[in-house]
């Protein structure tokens, strides 16, 4: 009778990670950690790399690689010098609903930190994409997106100064821009969106507080008001380990 190598009569008892042909050893460690995570709660600390390497009888680099993948998948997150269990991903609807509404639906508190707010003449590329007039004055507002004070994204908004001339004076950067537009009597009509995956640039990673080259979800949106006039162009960058997007389809 054929026996697996570690179960043959006389084989030594092994408590670590067995060899599985060509399956990388870190993958088996990752599976063990997945099971460990299931028994822990959000924010609970993971044992140290040293303890895990001794428990699974593998090199610390093997444990480190398994943890690295679980961080990228959003199941773990770095905290100080350790690693803790991450919370569930935020589900953001693909609709005209604002970021604020989407985060609140998850029972989280939305927030934003202003990076920059300035104005400049609309370049040809932005005019062609949005329907704005080339050379007309445009606001550019960049904000870090927060959920329960955790940095989760970066948003850049472009809107004609003529639509909201007192944006710099009347708008609270920590609040919903869509709510502000509604207060100004501006109603949304429709929008076009495009989604792609990208890697965070060094600057984006610094602003969002993530490792460089972290996979991100990038959404480009060009919206119009209820009368079909150009309204805004938004570039929203979301952490791939903290967000998933949902939509409802009907036949």
The span from the CA of 107 to the CA of 31, in Å, is 30
How much is the pLDDT for 97?
A: 64
- How is domain 25-85 classified at the architecture level of CATH? Orthogonal Bundle (1.10)
How much is the pLDDT for 5?
A: 43
DSSP SS3 for 31: helix
Listed in sequence order, the residues at least 6 apart from 123 whose beta carbon sits closer than 8 Å to its beta carbon are: 134
How much is the pLDDT for 72?
A: 74
Orientation of helix 60-72 relative to helix 49-56, angle to 10° = 120
- Strand-pairing partners, residue 243, are 90
Instruction: Write out the CATH class of domain 90-246.
Output: alpha beta
Between 5 and 226, the higher pLDDT residue: 226
Span 141-194, pLDDT tens digits: 999 999 888 899 999 999 999 999 999 999 999 999 999 999 999 998 999 989
Q: Give the mean pLDDT of 207-235.
A: 89
**Model confidence at 213: pLDDT above 90:** no
Span 75-94, pLDDT tens digits: 787 777 888 887 776 666 66
DSSP SS3 for 28: helix
Q: Which tokens go with 174?
A: 């920590």
The span from the CA of 112 to the CA of 100, in Å, is 10
- Strand-pairing partners, residue 147, are 110, 150
Tell me the residue ranges of DSSP E strands in 89-213.
Answer: 90-93, 110-121, 137-147, 150-160, 188-199
**Model confidence at 17: pLDDT above 90:** no
Which letter, b or e, does each residue of 109-148 get, where b requires 16 or more Cβ atoms within 10 Å of its Cβ?
ebbbeeeeeeeeebeeebbeebebeeeeebbebbbbbbbe
**Model confidence at 18: pLDDT above 80:** no
Q: How far is CA 146 from the centre of its chain?
A: 10
Confidence of residue 16 (pLDDT cuts 50, 70, 90): low
Domain regions of the chain by residue span = 25-85, 90-246
How much is the pLDDT for 215?
A: 84
The span from the CA of 193 to the CA of 222, in Å, is 7
Lowest-pLDDT range of 40-54, 71-85, 114-128, 214-228: 71-85
How much is the pLDDT for 184?
A: 93
Between 16 and 105, the higher pLDDT residue: 105
- Strand-pairing partners, residue 211, are none
């Amino acid at each position: 009778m054929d026996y697996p190598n570690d179960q043959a009569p006389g084989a030594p008892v092994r408590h670590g990670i067995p060899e599985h042909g060509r399956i990388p050893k870190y993958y088996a460690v990752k599976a063990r950690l997945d099971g460990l995570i299931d028994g822990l709660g959000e924010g609970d600390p993971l044992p140290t790399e040293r303890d895990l390497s001794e428990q699974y009888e593998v090199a610390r680099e093997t444990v480190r690689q398994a943890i690295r993948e679980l961080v990228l998948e959003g199941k773990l997150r770095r905290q100080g010098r350790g690693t803790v269990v991450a919370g569930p991903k935020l589900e953001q609807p693909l609709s005209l609903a604002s970021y604020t509404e989407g985060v609140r639906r998850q029972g989280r508190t939305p927030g934003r930190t202003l990076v920059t707010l300035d104005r400049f003449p609309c370049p040809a590329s932005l005019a062609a994409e949005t329907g704005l007039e080339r050379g007309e004055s445009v606001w550019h507002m960049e904000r870090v997106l927060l959920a329960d004070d955790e940095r989760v994204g970066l948003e850049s908004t472009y809107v004609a100064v003529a639509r909201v001339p007192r944006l710099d004076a009347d708008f609270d950067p920590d609040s919903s821009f869509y709510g502000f537009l509604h207060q100004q009597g501006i109603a949304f009509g429709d929008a076009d969106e495009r989604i792609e995956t990208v890697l965070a640039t060094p600057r984006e990673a610094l602003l969002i507080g993530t490792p460089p080259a972290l996979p991100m979800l990038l959404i480009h949106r060009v919206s119009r008001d209820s009368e079909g006039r150009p309204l805004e162009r938004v570039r929203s960058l979301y952490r791939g380990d903290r967000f998933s997007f949902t939509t409802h389809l009907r036949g």
